Copies of this chain bind each other. A is one copy, B any other.
Amino acid sequence: MHGSDAIGSPYAPHTDEERSKMLEAVGAETTEDLFDIPSAVQFDGEFGIDARSERETRRLVRSILGRNDTLTELLGRGHYGYYIPSLVDHLADRSEFLTSYTQYQPEVSQGFLQVLFEYQSLLVELTGLEIANCSMYDAATALGEAATLAERVRGTSGHRVLVPDILLEGRRSTLENYVAGTDLVVEEYPTAAGTVDLDALEETVDDDVVMLYAENPTVRGTIEEGLEAIGDLATAHEALYVLGSDPIALSLLQRPADVGADVVVGDASVLGLPTSYGMGLGLFATREDYLRQVPGRLVGASEDATDRRAYTLTLQTREQHIRRERATSNICTNQAWVALRTAIHAASLGPHGMVNLAKRGVTRAESLAQRLDDLVGVTAPIDDGRHLREFVAHVDQPAAPIASDLEKRGFAVHVVGDHQLQVCVSGVSDAKIDQFVAAFREVAR
């Protein structure tokens, strides 16, 4: 008997009769007899978790999550809410994609392997680098892995990992944890007006630097203008030049390979995922030189016994299940299904759609900045240069109460300083932008 009346797991199919037959086959009287647990460590308490019907469970989760306010999020800073075509959900939710395991048996996993191969190809095109893995957890962990790669390829000759002073705290802290087991030290270099302060950077870079990290756009939405100069500095000191970006930015902005980047990291799920409380997809691409040192899974093309093209996980000797403590990373389960979503989203945009989405990210952000700048008590953007998606605004009034007032009117923005708010346009409709400007006018003066 199944369904909501059953006592036990609703997903275990055994009838009483079947259970009896199975017990008989194994020579046990009860399932309890099959457990070999010393009585001292047996648990005879209760968790105190009630079982619920499917309907009640759905109602419970809906009711809990219903406590989240419905807000228009003008939020970015590393996590974005672009519109996702319906196609993405419908295809990614096909259970063959959703419920399969890592492709250790490629003969029955060709479909997913091909998706991951295509995802890798997308990143190769976007970055201009020859190798992309088929996912890390998120931008922060990809950055951490880049540092351990830097340590491996540079050996023991240096210790310093340089990151911008405006780096997101989550990325900085994750990076610190990743290098905690090494001799590396994370240090900040200064930025000015939201982008790299080249002179200051030049002063601090020396041969002890094994990795130099920059982002484009920066966390403040500014487009970095000195990418090539930064790369030259890294090269001059044989430091690994690691660039942080994402697929939409990469569709329009300078190609990392063209400015000398050795590694590109970032969050690829700006395509494919809605805002998911920070859940992401770690992008990781690098030069062919580091092929045997890359962390994470790689899918390669091969042939099957009939000489037809086939795909397979490859270079697995880098990985933990084979190389154990000498693996290039401890990553096992990654974000493959998110990579699928990103690949489908990118494919449905196509190159024109991706470039246009990025262009609109520039024009819409700059247009909103202009409109806010026109308001009494607001200066926007406060950083020089060009912006993608988001920008920081100065407000004459204290920022936190303004953000709070905006929230009451249905809009969420970032507070990034006592008098600084950050605002992001991605995924926000023009009509909502109009309403936001009207609300801002009311609260900012």
**Inside 8 A of A12's CB, which chain B residues have their CB?**
none
**Inside 8 A of A1's CB, which chain B residues have their CB?**
350, 352
Instruction: Compute how far the CA of A94 lies from the CA of B54 in the bound complex, rounded to whole angstroms.
Output: 21
Instruction: Compute how far the CA of A349 lies from the CA of B10 in the bound complex, rounded to whole angstroms.
Output: 12
Instruction: Compute how far the CA of A429 lies from the CA of B1 in the bound complex, rounded to whole angstroms.
Output: 23
Given A54-B85, A86-B54, verify A348-B3 contact (CB < 8 Å): yes
**Inside 8 A of A348's CB, which chain B residues have their CB?**
3
CB of A165, distance to nearest CB on chain B (Å): 38
**Inside 8 A of A54's CB, which chain B residues have their CB?**
85-86
Given A90-B95, A94-B94, verify A3-B55 contact (CB < 8 Å): no
Q: Are A350 and B85 in contact (CB under 8 A)?
A: no
**Inside 8 A of A55's CB, which chain B residues have their CB?**
83, 429
Given A90-B95, A94-B94, A95-B90, verify A352-B85 contact (CB < 8 Å): no
**Inside 8 A of A85's CB, which chain B residues have their CB?**
54
**Inside 8 A of A93's CB, which chain B residues have their CB?**
90
- Give how many A residues have a beta carbon under 8 Å from the other chain's beta carbons: 23
Encoded as 1 (CB less than 8 Å from any B CB) or 0, chain A from 16 to 56 comes to 00000000000000000000000000000000000000110
Q: Are B2 and A350 in contact (CB under 8 A)?
A: yes
Q: Are B94 and A353 in contact (CB under 8 A)?
A: no
A335 at the interface (CB under 8 A from B): no
Q: In the complex, which of the residues B3, B94, B356 contacts A5, with contact meaning CB atoms closer than 8 Å?
A: B356
Which residue of chain B has the shortest Cβ distance to A6 in the bound complex?
B352
CB of A98, distance to nearest CB on chain B (Å): 10
Q: Are B90 and A350 in contact (CB under 8 A)?
A: no
Q: Are A349 and B90 in contact (CB under 8 A)?
A: no
Q: Are A353 and B95 in contact (CB under 8 A)?
A: no
Q: Are B83 and A353 in contact (CB under 8 A)?
A: no
**Inside 8 A of A356's CB, which chain B residues have their CB?**
3, 5
Instruction: Compute how far the CA of A94 lies from the CA of B356 in the bound complex, rounded to whole angstroms.
Output: 32
Q: Are A3 and B90 in contact (CB under 8 A)?
A: no
Which residue of chain B has the shortest Cβ distance to A86 in the bound complex?
B54
Q: Are B350 and A3 in contact (CB under 8 A)?
A: yes
CB of A424, distance to nearest CB on chain B (Å): 18
- Give the one of A3, A54, A55, A59 with max B CB within 10 A: A3
Query: What are 10 A-B contacts defined by CB distance under 8 Å?
Result: A2-B352, A3-B349, A3-B350, A3-B352, A4-B353, A5-B352, A5-B353, A54-B86, A55-B429, A90-B95
* The 5 residue pairs across chains A and B that have the minimum distance between CB atoms: A3-B353, A55-B83, A1-B352, A2-B350, A54-B85
Given A2-B352, A94-B94; 5 other pairs, CB 8 A cutoff? A3-B350, A3-B353, A54-B86, A55-B83, A90-B95
